[in-house]
């Protein structure tokens, strides 16, 4: 039987357990598609944006996914600052 304790490397990782779909959805809700496209200028955010088209592109493009993850972490920090 395997130990079910959390991976010690992931305990403090804010992205652990967050799906790419959840990140894109929350970013679009927080910034809006126009601002999201201005912050990360990729076609899936600037031309007829949708969550599904963004997911298809981001799953195949590591550099773009890194930018989305970075902006998501920035958004979390901003939300935390605003709640204080």
Pick from 82, 80, 81, 69: which is nearest to 26 by CA?
A: 69
Return per-residue pLDDT of the chain as tens, 84 residues: 555 555 666 668 888 889 999 999 999 999 999 999 999 999 999 999 999 999 999 999 999 999 999 999 999 999 999 988
How far is it, in rounded angstroms, from Cα 68 to Cα 12?
A: 19
Q: What domains does the chain contain, in order, with CATH numbers?
A: 29-83 (1.10.720.30)
**Would you say 40 and 64 are in contact if contact means Cβ atoms under 8 Å apart?**
yes
pTM, full prediction: 0.84
**Would you say 24 and 49 are in contact if contact means Cβ atoms under 8 Å apart?**
no
């Amino acid at each position: 039987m395997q130990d079910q304790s959390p991976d010690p490397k992931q305990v403090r990782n804010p992205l652990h357990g967050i799906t790419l779909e959840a990140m894109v959805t929350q970013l679009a809700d927080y910034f809006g598609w126009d601002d999201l496209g201005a912050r990360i200028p990729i076609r899936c955010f600037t031309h007829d944006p949708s969550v599904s088209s963004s997911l298809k592109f981001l799953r195949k493009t590591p550099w773009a996914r890194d930018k989305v993850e970075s902006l998501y972490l920035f958004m979390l920090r901003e939300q935390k600052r605003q709640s204080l």
